[in-house]
């Protein structure tokens, strides 16, 4: 609570510090990251590689327009990208699609399963979301699958942590800067998350579920409001009012 990273941008490290970290880039050793890890180390933590129940994998991204790879929504397999990870979930609004043959051969190891957690590892690194669907799908190289059971860490707690300011700061530390910010799979495997009381995790999960329900209801009400206006403009207000009453909704 009330964590404010220090703005100091110089530090002193020994050569051993560089060897131990396996990093020589200055960004990794910013004082704000040391400050962050002092706080996180007050908790028990678990590395991703000790949490997962399957190897952490990422997909592949072919050349745009490759007709042997891409197809349309009719018969195609949704191809999840980092931009599809929005607000802790996977948005279905703007999928690309790959051919079933590619899904079942080239990208067989990254076929998604319901309740997989995805994290972006290139570009906007650290976006985290839940694939909650039961239809076939796959991922490109900018996403990694973090597959685990919930004995120690609840999925919604995991996602909420890494979408929070603190989680994003932790991801920022381990990301490599360049033309495109990125994390390789070894670096993802060595990321960690603090373990908090399971009752508190479950409370977080219940709040997330309530939030998602309200977002969905809000979206439904907005669509009804739009349709009501269209009916009123195209026909008349009385018909629109009748239609609205049939929905048994009170829009304020």
The whole-model pTM stands at 0.83
Supply 42's token pair. Answer: 């007050």
**117, pLDDT greater than 60:** yes
Alpha carbon 54 to its chain centroid, in Å, reads 18
CA dihedral 135, 208, 213, 56 (to 10 degrees): -10
Torsion region of 205: left, alpha or beta (phi above 0 gives left; psi -120 to 50 gives alpha): alpha
Q: What is the pLDDT of residues 214-242, one digit of tens each?
A: 888 888 888 888 877 777 777 776 776 77
pLDDT, residue 252, reads 43
pLDDT category of residue 138 using cuts at 50, 70 and 90: very high
Residue whose pair of structure tokens reads 């060897």 in the numeric block: 19
Q: What is the pLDDT of residues 187-206, one digit of tens each?
A: 999 999 999 999 999 999 99
Supply 169's token pair. Answer: 């700061």
% of the chain surpassing 70 pLDDT: 93
Q: Which of 161, 160, 134, 128 is nearest to 146 (CA)?
A: 128
Half-sphere exposure of 10 (CA within 13 A, CB side): 0
């Amino acid at each position: 609570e009330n964590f404010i990273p220090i703005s100091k941008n110089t530090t002193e490290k020994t050569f051993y510090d560089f060897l131990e970290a396996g990093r020589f880039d200055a960004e990794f050793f910013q004082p704000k990251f040391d400050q962050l890890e002092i706080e996180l180390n007050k908790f028990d933590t678990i590395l991703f590689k000790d949490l997962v129940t399957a190897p952490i994998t990422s997909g592949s991204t072919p050349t745009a327009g490759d007709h042997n790879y891409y197809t349309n929504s009719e018969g195609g397999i949704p191809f999840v990208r980092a931009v599809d990870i929005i607000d802790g979930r996977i948005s279905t609004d703007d999928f690309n699609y790959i051919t079933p043959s590619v899904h079942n051969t080239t990208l067989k190891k990254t076929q998604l399963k319901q309740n997989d957690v995805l994290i972006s590892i290139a570009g906007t690194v650290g976006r985290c979301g839940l694939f909650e669907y039961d239809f076939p799908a796959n991922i490109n190289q900018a996403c990694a699958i973090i597959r685990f059971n919930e004995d120690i860490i609840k999925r919604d707690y995991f996602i909420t942590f890494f979408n929070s300011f603190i989680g994003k700061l932790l991801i920022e530390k381990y990301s490599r800067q360049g033309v495109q910010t990125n994390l390789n799979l070894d670096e993802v495997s060595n990321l960690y998350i603090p373990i908090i009381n399971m009752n508190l995790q479950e409370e977080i999960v219940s709040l997330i579920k309530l939030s998602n329900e309200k977002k969905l209801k809000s979206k439904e009400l907005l669509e009804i409001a739009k349709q009501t206006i269209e009916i009123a403009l195209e026909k008349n207000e009385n018909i629109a009012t009748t239609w609205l009453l049939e929905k048994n909704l009170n829009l304020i």
